[in-house]
Amino acid sequence: MAHSLLKLKRVYDEPSHEDGRRVLVDRLWPRGLSRKDAKLTDWIKDVAPSQELRKWFDHKPERFADFRERYRQELASNSAVQALVEFGDGPLTLVYGAKDPVHNHAVVLLEFLNSLKNRSR
């Protein structure tokens, strides 16, 4: 994985040049936002948690530790992760719609991608 900068940003936050490639990593399109305003490079919905896991988690912080483990297990066998790995050099911003910036799947996905990057060194 060659990304020099991998970061997270809420899809409702103002896009900036520093974002580089902006990839929506949610399974569902964010409410109240047009595709034009999102300014995305891509939308990789298959990298998001399964429908069952997403519904079980229900954005409840007390479930986040268990959610993190279950989602990491899903990611380990998810071929859509490769699409993010193959984006190449430069900044890559994982864009998500959740209100909670700490307890959401994009946080876990970022950790997972960084662990892949560290393993390949």
- The confidence score (pLDDT) of residue 121 equals 58
Q: The dihedral of CA 48, 58, 10, 91: what is its sign?
A: negative
- The confidence score (pLDDT) of residue 91 equals 92
| Spatial separation of the C-alpha atoms in residues 28 and 49, rounded to whole Å | 11
Q: What is the pTM of this model?
A: 0.92
pLDDT in tens, the chain (121 residues): 444 589 999 999 999 999 999 999 999 999 999 999 999 999 999 999 999 999 999 999 999 999 999 999 999 999 999 989 887 778 999 999 999 999 999 999 999 999 987 776 5
Q: Which domain holds residue 78?
A: 5-119
The total of structural domains in the chain comes to 1
Rounding to the nearest 10 degrees, give the CA dihedral for residues 48, 58, 72, 101: 80
Residue labelled with tokens 């910036």? 101
- The confidence score (pLDDT) of residue 117 equals 78
Q: Which two tokens stand for residue 13?
A: 């936050």
φ/ψ (deg, to 5) at 51 = -55, -45
